């Protein structure tokens, strides 16, 4: 049952209409990177290829089976150990712009962070446009609940007729936040993609000092231009928050981005508390290890 692919007409796959060129600094490495987003053939999905000196030209699928657990980001790795990190904001933008197939060439290890949201990626994808392809979108239906719990955090996916999310976080000195609703691409683009990543100033300073000489450093490129910076109950960024619940909206952004690593659109409802990339990846691994928990959906309406 799980190997039967969606073949109904309509709801066509899409790729970018033209090449997209972007550049900027990474949130964690602090290093400059350039990338090109290229059109790709049907059913090839989203793939990354390192073209810098440390890359070997291998294409790395944006897929749950390729994830490598690093702090505060989503990282994928090739069989030879070549990695691309902090892909989540681009993956969210590709979902919002309904791009199913693309090849991303990157000169560097980490994607640019820009303002800490997906807004710059969405703007570039919208400017380039998209073209329909002669294949229908892949959709999977959740057949039974799967839940992951870890250190007080949890995430659950259960059967539903559409993709929706209900997430809660509790942020000290700011309060609890909840966001619940459908996450179809149009709603997601309008309500979620401009929400920025965030962090405490003292945590960022400690991370910069502690990890500067690690193989996989953390937060070396973090500042008020690339993230929401919090001190006590204050937001240090000029202009403050873009919306009162920007924190939880960014957590929704990250969760949807990680769910795209399923390699297909999802029909199911996700609920969670204090979710993180690690839990999202573990949820996907657990889901796809159980063939009775999901199937490809032929009814894509």
Residue 180's domain spans which residues? Answer: 12-296
Beta bridge partners of 84: 76
Asked if residue 65 belongs to a domain, the reply is yes
Asked if residue 165 belongs to a domain, the reply is yes
Asked if residue 35 belongs to a domain, the reply is yes
CA pair distance 243, 146, nearest whole angstrom: 32
CATH number at residue 73: 3.30.1700.10
Which sequence positions are flagged as catalytic? Answer: 277
The overall average pLDDT reported for the chain is 92
Asked if residue 63 belongs to a domain, the reply is yes
Do 274 and 90 form a contact (C-beta atoms < 8 A)?
no
- CA separation, residue 154 to residues 69, 87, 279 (Å): 17, 22, 7
Q: How many domains does the chain have?
A: 1
Asked if residue 130 belongs to a domain, the reply is yes
Position 206 scores a pLDDT of 54
Asked if residue 234 belongs to a domain, the reply is yes
CA pair distance 96, 122, nearest whole angstrom: 7
- As a whole number, mean pLDDT of residues 11-23 equals 98
Buried/exposed 112-122: b ≥16 CB within 10 Å, e otherwise: bbbbbbbbbbb
> Which element (helix H / strand E) includes 205?
helix 201-211
CA pair distance 142, 135, nearest whole angstrom: 22
CA pair distance 129, 116, nearest whole angstrom: 23
Query: Starting at the edge strand that comes first in sequence, how are the strands of the sheet with 67-68 ordered?
Result: 67-68, 75-77, 83-85
Query: Over the stretch 252-288, which tens digit does the pLDDT of each residue have?
Result: 999 999 999 999 999 999 999 999 999 999 999 999 9
Higher pLDDT, 207 or 175: 175
CA pair distance 267, 113, nearest whole angstrom: 29
Query: Over the stretch 133-149, which tens digit does the pLDDT of each residue have?
Result: 999 999 999 999 999 99
User: Cα dihedral sign for 249, 15, 23, 259?
Assistant: positive
**Where residue 213 falls among pLDDT bands split at 50, 70, 90?**
low
CA pair distance 87, 61, nearest whole angstrom: 11
Asked if residue 97 belongs to a domain, the reply is yes
Beta bridge partners of 67: 76
Asked if residue 86 belongs to a domain, the reply is yes
Give pTM, 2 decimals.
Answer: 0.92
């Amino acid at each position: 049952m799980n190997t039967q692919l969606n073949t109904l007409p309509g709801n066509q796959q899409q790729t970018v209409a033209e090449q997209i060129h972007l550049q900027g600094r990474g949130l964690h490495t602090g290093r400059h990177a350039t990338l090109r987003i290229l059109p790709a053939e049907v059913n090839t999905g989203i793939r990354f290829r390192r073209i810098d000196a440390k890359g070997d030209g291998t294409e790395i699928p944006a897929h749950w089976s390729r994830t490598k657990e690093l702090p505060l980001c989503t990282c994928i790795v090739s069989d030879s150990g070549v990695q691309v990190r902090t892909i989540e904001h681009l993956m969210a933008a590709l979902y919002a712009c309904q791009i199913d197939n693309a090849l991303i060439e990157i000169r560097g290890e980490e994607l640019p962070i820009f303002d800490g949201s997906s807004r710059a990626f969405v703007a570039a994808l919208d400017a380039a446009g998209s073209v329909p392809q002669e294949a229908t979108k892949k959709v999977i239906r959740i057949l039974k609940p799967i839940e992951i719990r870890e250190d007080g955090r949890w995430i659950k996916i259960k059967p539903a007729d559409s993709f929706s999310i209900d997430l809660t976080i509790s942020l000290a000195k700011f309060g609890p936040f909840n966001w619940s609703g459908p996450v179809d691409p149009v709603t997601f683009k309008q309500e979620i993609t401009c929400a920025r990543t965030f962090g405490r100033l003292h945590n960022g300073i400690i991370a910069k000092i502690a990890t500067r000489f690690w193989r996989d450093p953390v937060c070396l490129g973090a500042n008020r231009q690339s993230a929401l910076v919090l001190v006590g109950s204050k937001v240090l960024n000029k202009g403050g928050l873009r919306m009162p619940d920007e924190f939880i909206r960014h957590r929704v952004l990250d969760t949807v981005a990680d769910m795209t690593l399923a390699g297909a659109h999802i029909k199911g409802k996700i609920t969670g508390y204090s979710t993180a990339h690690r839990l999202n990846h573990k949820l996907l691994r657990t889901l796809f290890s159980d063939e009775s928990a999901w199937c490809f959906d032929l009814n894509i309406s």
